[in-house]
Every structure is written in structure tokens, then in C-alpha cells.
Amino acid sequence: MTLLEVDGIDVAYGDVQVIWDVSFSVSEGETVALLGANGAGKTTVLKTICGPLAPSAGTITFHGEPIGDLEQDEVVPKGVTHIPEGRDIFTESTVKENLRLGAYTNPDGMADQFERVYDVFPRLEERRGQQAGTLSGGEQQMLAIGRGLMSDPDLILLDEASLGLAPVLVEDVFDAIERINEEGTTVLLVEQDVNNALHIADRGYVLESGRLTLSGDAADLAEDERVAASYLGG
Ligand code: ATP
């Protein structure tokens, strides 16, 4: 069943249009990768789905309900969580406090979600009393994802979760995303790390200069020379 449907959206910053007529869908239970070079518009598409931006044309529906014009604080209770690039955690607060804040729309389910997050990321439980700003980069990324899970989302939007991490941590983060998906959360991820992204994804879409140019099964895209070319701006 279709969970998220993006249909013919245009998006602009002021007068400058950066997304043209983009359509794609994500079904319940899938992991879908949105790929493309720097500046292709991937982050813009995620921000349009989760609230801060609104499309100037086209529609976005989630569970069949229009969400394109909703703000972020209206979208989260509907079941969409966005993990922005750059982590965006509360550095002065503890790990546990950051997680607790992620559950603001889900106070009744907080205990269960703590259990789930600590199960996926045992490191966060070990460090629950530590100030978040003193965590390593990889631990901060785990915390950002964990905080997103605290709202018990149906769909998680992940922006460059592996960016800037050492290879061993990249593997940990992708393993965690795979596990979160296996446990029932649908995933839409934006990635520069095409190989890892297509390894865990079911399907993918390629954005080039604000337009979708390719789509298909992840295994087919991984073999497609045009995917590599799109990253070189070709
Ligand atoms: P990256 O992989 O480098 O993060 P991206 O594919 O996520 O790139 P976006 O960040 O969505 O790309 O940017 C798409 C285009 O929109 C770029 O040309 C960028 O310069 C422009 N853009 C992004 N944010 C703004 C903004 N706040 N104001 C004006 N233009 C913006």
C-alpha cells in the first residue's frame, strides 16, 4: 500500500525554482533511496515533505491525506519524522533528555520507545547520562536517529545519515537503518553514499538539477552507469 505519494511538485526558494515536477511514491515497509549530486535538490524534497517548505505546485499525500502545506509540528503527530543533515541535537542536554524530547508527540508510548531505541543503539543506553555535545560524531548520529524514533514514526526521512563518519561507523549506521526498517518503519533516505544506500534500499530515484531522471529497483540502479554519471554532473 502506498504510504507517501509525491505528485508533480515544484519547489522554489523565493523566486528561484529548484525542484521541477517531481513525482515518486513510497510504499509501506519499503526503504527508498533518493540519490543525486550536490545541489540536485534532495534536501529540498525532504524539507518539502516534512514541513519547513511547501510546494508551489503539485501535492504530497501521506496515508492518503494531503500534508504538503502542513508545518513540521503538524506532520510529526501524523507519523513522519525527519532526521536532518548535521544531526541538530541539543548539545547541552543529556542523551536521555534528547530522547525524551523526541517523544513529545508520543508521551504514552515513551517507555516502549526508550526500550526500542536502547535495543537498536545499546551505546545510547550506556551513555544516557552524558551531555550530548560530548558524544563522538557517530554517537551523535545514533542519537539523532534515536530521537526521531521516539515519536514512533510510520515514515522516517533520513538526510545524509552517514556523512562525515568513519567507515566502521557508516556500517553501524546503515545496519541500524536496516534494522529499523525490518521492525516496520518505512524509510526514505537521501545519501551521497550510493553503494551503501542502494545496498539497503528496495528502490531508488535519481535527482539531477531538480528533476527526476531515473528510477528503479535498487539492484538495477546499482549496476546502472547513469547513476554514477549523475554524480559527476554528467
Ligand atoms: P547536498 O547533497 O549538497 O546537500 P541537495 O541535493 O540536498 O545537495 P539542496 O540542498 O536541496 O540539494 O539544494 C538544491 C538547490 O537549492 C541548490 O542549488 C541550493 O543552492 C538551493 N538552495 C538550498 N537551500 C536554499 C535556500 N535556503 N535559499 C536559496 N537556495 C537554496
Residue nearest to atom 22 of ligand 1 (CA): 13
User: Is 39 a pocket residue for ligand 1 (Cβ < 6 Å)?
Assistant: yes
What's the pLDDT score for residue 233? 56
Number of structural domains (the chain) is: 2
Q: Is 70 exposed, middle or buried (0-12, 13-18, 19+ CB in 10 A)?
A: buried
Atom of ligand 1 nearest to the CA of 40: 6
- Can you tell me which atom of ligand 1 is nearest the CA of 45? 11
* Distance of alpha carbon 57 from alpha carbon 54, whole angstroms: 9
- 163 with 225, same domain? yes
Please identify, among 126, 152, 178, the residue that sits at the C-terminal boundary of a domain: 152
Other CB atoms within 10 Å distance of the CB of residue 12: 17
Measure the CA–CA gap between 6 and 17, rounded to whole angstroms.
17
Q: Is 232 exposed, middle or buried (0-12, 13-18, 19+ CB in 10 A)?
A: exposed
Q: How many CB atoms lie within 10 A of CB 102?
A: 25
* Domain containing residue 202: 1-79+155-234
Residue 85 CA: which ligand 1 atom is closest? Answer: 4
Instruction: For a ligand 1 pocket test, name from 15, 22, 42, 206 the mutation site with the most ligand atoms within 8 angstroms of its C-beta.
Output: 42
> What per-residue confidence (pLDDT) applies to 122?
93
Q: Which of 15, 19, 43 to mutate to test the pocket of ligand 1 (most atoms within 8 A of CB)?
A: 43
Q: In sequence order, which ranges of the chain are alpha helices (DSSP H)?
A: 42-50, 72-75, 95-102, 110-120, 122-126, 137-149, 167-182, 194-200, 218-223, 225-231
226 with 36: CB under 8 angstroms? no
Same domain, 47 and 106: no
Question: Last residue of some domain: 152, 182, 203?
Answer: 152
Q: 129 and 29, same structural domain?
A: no
The CATH number given to whatever domain includes residue 180 is 3.40.50.300
1 and 74 belong to one structural domain: yes
Q: Are 55 and 9 in contact, with CB atoms under 8 Å apart?
A: yes
Same domain, 22 and 65: yes
Q: Which of 73, 172, 186 is nearest to 123 (CA)?
A: 172
Q: What integer pLDDT is reported at residue 234 of this predicted model? A: 44
Backbone angles phi, psi at 217, to 5 degrees: -65, 145
Of 60, 1, 4, 11, the closest CA to residue 32 belongs to 4
- Closest-CA residue to 142 (of 222, 150, 15, 72): 150
User: Which residue's CA lies nearest to atom 19 of ligand 1?
Assistant: 39
Say if residue 72 is in the same domain as residue 159: yes
CA of 36 to the centre of ligand 1 (A): 12
Contact between 30 and 186 (Cβ < 8 Å) = yes
- pLDDT value, residue 212: 96
Q: Are strands 31-35 and 186-191 parallel, antiparallel or unpaired?
A: parallel
CB atoms within 10 A of CB 32: 23
The residue among 52, 62, 54, 59 whose CA lies nearest residue 26 is: 62
Domain boundary among 105, 136, 152: 152
Q: What is the pLDDT along the chain (234 residues), one digit of tens a residue?
A: 999 999 999 999 999 999 999 999 999 999 999 999 889 999 999 999 998 899 999 999 999 999 988 888 899 999 999 998 877 899 999 999 999 999 988 888 899 999 999 999 999 999 999 999 999 888 999 999 999 999 999 999 999 998 888 888 888 899 999 999 999 999 999 988 899 999 999 999 999 999 999 999 999 999 998 888 877 654
For ligand 1, is residue 230 a contact (CB within 6 Å)?
no
